[in-house]
């Protein structure tokens, strides 16, 4: 036996939530075990406890000859960390360098206890050969010299898994592996994990909401519900019990409103040295209608995220125009100024790498978001800027920076020699009464109660974080909602709730909703229309079932 868990208890005292309640199970050496359960069941918390990075309140973790209890010294938790490796849910903690160098650092850590790069060229080349072999296992060997920061979400996730495999842990902990990958990439990742399990005798404990990943990887699965293991056994039997509680889908209703957003002759190239051209969009024309849900599908790295960011005005085309209807007139989002700023207020976006501040209170997140979405607050920001000699174009540019994921926002500000204080001064006015009213409506739309407003981000499950982030995107009654692969790590039961919520949002608010997803069943259930993108080209545009069939042929 490799791991024995006895009566683990974990409480979040501020919210009064018991995340884990007397959890008991064991894993043998070389065994692969899955964990499934609804969002908030405690899966991520359990993995962090077993990793040795989350304190717990009761029970015992036995890892071979090591015993860890709540009162154990810090050194015991550090020893547990050295025996395990973890890929956290939606974590992109990678070095800002090539994929190969990221793996080299992980190999060096397993050998010397520190992540370093050899200075000797001959030694470096030897390590690089070993790194490429590991990258080959996850289908990234041809991307070895590509900088990790510009990889697609699915590629980054595979790189993180490769880094953990390179450390050769006795137990590999995975939180939602392959959630942002296309079907073929996900299969490659599963094959790589099977290889690591066989080659290195590495035990694997993974949490996944995707039944197919359980079927492909694990003969045994644990069903976690409200912090308790309620089923431990044959994977197919456990999945059958879990999926039996799924809500029925709401009927999809066609609205067919007017065009509210369009791309006219848009081109966009990305060229990286020494890799060369990694993305090219040529002369693309697309239209998006009010009350229509459009899904964009395609392989990892096809350029889907860049297209979404151009739709939201957060990425500018090299040529051509992105236009949005605002107050009866077409506004070019690429032209900075008051008109585009106010048009974009009615765009809600959920980024692929969204990052809710760990210690933030949920009500404060809504208050901050209102600071960049409320008309009167934005108008006040423009007036203050004018008195300070700041142009409307500059305010619009800073407003776009404020809508980026936190890490990217900080990097952009540093590039132009500013810090986040200027954003706080311009847009972050707090209006708690307005925030409470708006947040209540938005949370109800995604199936969450107002009880969540008093919670902190660190008290939320991965699925709850996604639904809070979606609610934040709804606060301005948007005309356009842009969703970049946000639902990959939702369990099927919660995903159905969100799917039904999107249909209700479409019927009630009648926005144009554009989403990227690798979950093809979800796409077919919610989308009125689908677009297939391959290597920056629109391959087909039309009925979701037909587009998905074509995508599977391309794959």
Q: What is the pLDDT of residue 277?
A: 62
Q: Within 13 Å, how many C-alpha atoms sit on residue 525's CB side?
A: 19
Distance of CA 25 to the CA centre of its chain: 29
What secondary structure, in 3-state letters, does 289-315 show? Answer: ECCCEEEEECCCCCCHHHHHHHHCCCC
Q: What is the rounded distance in angstroms from the CA atom of residue 464 to the CA atom of residue 494? A: 9
Q: What is the rounded distance in angstroms from the CA atom of residue 397 to the CA atom of residue 390? A: 11
DSSP state of 246: P
Q: What is the pLDDT of residue 88?
A: 73
Distances (CA, A) of 427 to 78, 82, 431: 42, 44, 12
Q: Flag whether pLDDT at 553 surpasses 70.
A: yes
At the topology level, CATH places domain 259-554 in: Rossmann fold (3.40.50)
Lowest mean pLDDT of 21-30, 153-162, 253-262, 324-333, name the range. Answer: 153-162
Which of 168, 164, 223 minimizes the C-alpha distance to 201? Answer: 168
Lowest mean pLDDT of 94-103, 272-281, 529-538, name the range. Answer: 272-281
- Cβ atoms of residues 173 and 3 within 8 Å: no
- Cβ atoms of residues 10 and 20 within 8 Å: yes
SS3 154: helix
Q: Flag whether pLDDT at 304 surpasses 90.
A: no
Most confident residue range from 88-92, 237-241, 406-410, 463-467: 237-241
Q: Flag whether pLDDT at 223 surpasses 70.
A: yes
Q: Flag whether pLDDT at 154 surpasses 80.
A: no
pTM of the model: 0.71
Q: What is the pLDDT of residues 24-77, one digit of tens each?
A: 999 999 999 999 998 888 998 999 999 999 999 999 999 999 999 999 999 999
Instruction: Determine whether domain 3-243 maps to CATH 3.40.30.10.
Output: no
Q: Flag whether pLDDT at 275 surpasses 60.
A: no
Which has more confidence, 474 or 331?
A: 331
287: left (phi over 0), alpha (psi -120 to 50) or beta: beta
- Cβ atoms of residues 448 and 467 within 8 Å: yes
Torsion of CA 14, 15, 21, 23, to 10 degrees: -80
Mean of pLDDT values over 480-486: 88
Every domain of the chain with CATH number 3.40.50.300 lies at 3-243, 259-554
Lowest mean pLDDT of 49-63, 68-82, 292-306, 313-327, name the range. Answer: 292-306
Q: What is the pLDDT of residue 353?
A: 67
Q: What is the pLDDT of residue 411?
A: 80
Q: Flag whether pLDDT at 274 surpasses 60.
A: no
Helix 406-415 and helix 392-402: axis angle, to 10°?
Answer: 140
Mean of pLDDT values over 233-242: 95
Lowest mean pLDDT of 229-243, 271-285, 325-339, 468-482, name the range. Answer: 271-285
- CA angle 132/134/137 to nearest 5° reads 110
């Amino acid at each position: 036996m490799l791991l024995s868990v006895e009566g683990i208890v974990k409480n979040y005292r501020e919210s009064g939530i018991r995340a884990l309640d007397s959890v008991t199970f064991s894993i043998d050496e070389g065994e692969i075990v899955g964990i499934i359960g609804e969002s908030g069941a405690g899966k991520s918390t359990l993995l962090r406890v077993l990793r040795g990075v989350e304190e717990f309140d009761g029970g015992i973790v036995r890892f071979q000859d090591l015993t860890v209890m709540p009162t154990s010294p810090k050194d015991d938790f550090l020893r547990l960390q050295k025996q395990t490796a973890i890929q956290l849910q939606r974590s992109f903690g990678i070095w800002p360098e090539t994929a190969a160098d990221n793996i080299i650092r992980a190999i060096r850590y397993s050998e010397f206890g520190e992540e370093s790069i050899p200075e000797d060229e001959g030694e470096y080349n030897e390590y690089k050969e070993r790194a490429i072999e590991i990258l080959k296992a996850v289908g990234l060997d041809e991307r070895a010299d590509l900088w990790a920061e510009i990889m697609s979400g699915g590629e980054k996730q595979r790189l993180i898994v490769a880094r953990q495999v390179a450390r050769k842990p006795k137990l590999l902990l995975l939180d939602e592996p392959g959630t942002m990958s296309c079907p073929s990439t996900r299969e490659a990742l599963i094959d790589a994990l099977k290889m690591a399990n066989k080659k290195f005798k590495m035990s694997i404990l993974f949490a996944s909401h995707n039944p197919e990943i359980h079927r492909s990887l694990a003969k045994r699965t644990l069903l976690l519900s409200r912090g308790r293991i309620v089923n431990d056994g044959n994977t197919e039997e456990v999945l059958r019990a879990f999926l039996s509680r799924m809500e029925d889908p709401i009927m999809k209703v066609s609205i067919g409103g007017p065009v509210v957003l369009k791309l006219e002759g848009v081109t966009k190239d990305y060229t990286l040295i020494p890799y060369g051209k990694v993305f090219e969009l040529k002369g693309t024309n697309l239209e998006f209608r009010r009350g229509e849900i459009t899904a964009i599908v395609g392989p990892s790295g096809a350029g889907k995220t860049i297209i979404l960011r151009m739709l939201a005005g957060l990425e500018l085309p090299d040529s051509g125009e992105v236009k949005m209807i605002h107050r009866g007139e077409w506004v070019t989002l690429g032209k900075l100024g008051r008109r585009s700023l106010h048009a974009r207020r009615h765009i809600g976006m959920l980024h692929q790498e969204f990052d809710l501040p760990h210690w933030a209170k949920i009500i404060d997140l809504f208050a901050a978001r209102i600071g960049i979405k409320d008309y009167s607050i934005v108008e006040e920001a423009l007036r203050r800027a004018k008195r300070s000699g700041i142009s409307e174009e500059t305010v619009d540019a800073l407003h776009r920076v404020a809508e980026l994921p936190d890490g990217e926002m900080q990097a952009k500000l540093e590039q132009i020699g500013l810090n986040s204080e200027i954003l706080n001064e311009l847009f972050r006015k707090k209006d708690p009464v307005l925030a409470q009213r708006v947040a209540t409506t938005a949370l109800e739309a995604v199936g969450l109660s107002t009880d969540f407003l008093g919670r902190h981000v660190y008290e939320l499950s991965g699925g709850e974080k996604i639904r809070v982030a979606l609610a934040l995107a709804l606060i301005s009654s948007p005309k356009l909602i842009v969703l970049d692969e946000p639902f990959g790590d939702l369990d099927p039961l919660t995903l159905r709730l969100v799917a039904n919520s999107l249909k209700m949002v479409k019927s009630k608010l009648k926005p144009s909703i554009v989403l990227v997803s690798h979950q093809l069943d979800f796409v077919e259930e919610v989308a009125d229309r689908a677009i297939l993108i391959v290597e920056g080209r629109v391959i087909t545009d039309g009925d979701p079932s037909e587009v998905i069939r074509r995508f599977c042929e391309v794959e």
